Amino acid sequence: MTDTPERPCYTHPLEILWQDEDMVVVYKPAGWLVHRTPLARHETRFVLQSLRDQIGQHVWPVHRLDQGTCGVLVFALSKEACQKLAACFADHTAQKHYLALARGWLPDEVDVDYALKPDDAPEDAPAQSAQTTLRCLAHLEWPEAYDPRHASTRISLVEALPKTGRRHQIRRHLKHESHPIIGDATHGKGPLNRWWAQRIGLHRLWLHAHALCIPHPRTGEVMHFGADWRQLAHVPEVQQWQQLLRVKGWQATARGLPETCGMQLPLTTP
């Protein structure tokens, strides 16, 4: 098995979570790029072009999600709305909530303040400040050892709340904390990714943009957008996440899963 993620086959249009005259919010599938780029000429699936054709009007990208990341993605429907929405991401007014599957058992809560330099920046380029709050929602102990020094293998379901918006910030901050995301071919560990893929039955980047809060570009009202799994049960990635969390042995922390996951896990035993 290679580190190339499995790509679900989509036979339906993009899922639109919200649309009005100023903005449209969609569920981005894993494996899709937000828009065309000269660096990925071999790719054929782009959210921007597909959404434009689907709704029959021009759309402006407001923010980005990595190709392997699925979840909530916002587009503007005018240049003016784009400027206002993009400013909310630039000044960190937008609040992003992610779910991630990470190696080991993450502590209850970790505030990461670790500056990051862009991947393609020169060696002498200064690092940019970056902060993320990481919270453990649940953990699983697999009764089989990946590392012969241990009797079992552990993973955590993590809620990641980035306060800044650096490229690969969540992935790099979890790696910095020695809890890399499972399936992350760039910042994780290939052998461990393949080990888990064989046991879970899925090989992918386990990072999900689960919710987003942002002021409306026209009214200023704070809008809450979420990938509600109860309404998206037909979406392949949602099915994969639910399959993952149905694996026997998961135990939730006191926080538990977001209500929009539409499922509960047993609480951690004392």
Enumerate the active-site residues: 66
Residue 191: exposed, middle, or buried by beta-carbon count in 10 A (0-12, 13-18, 19+)?
exposed
Q: How many CB atoms lie within 10 A of CB 155?
A: 25
| Sign for the pseudo-dihedral over CA of 269, 227, 229, 186 | negative
Neighbours of 178 (CB within 10 A): 10
Q: What is the rounded CA–CA span in Å between residue 117 and residue 54?
A: 37
Closest by CA to 155, choosing from 170, 138, 176, 169, is: 138
Query: Which DSSP category does 137 fall into?
Result: E
Are 212 and 97 in contact by the 8 Å Cβ rule? The answer is: yes
> In 3D, which of 110, 163, 155, 154 has the Cα closest to residue 135?
110
What is the dihedral sign for C-alpha 202, 96, 211, 76?
negative
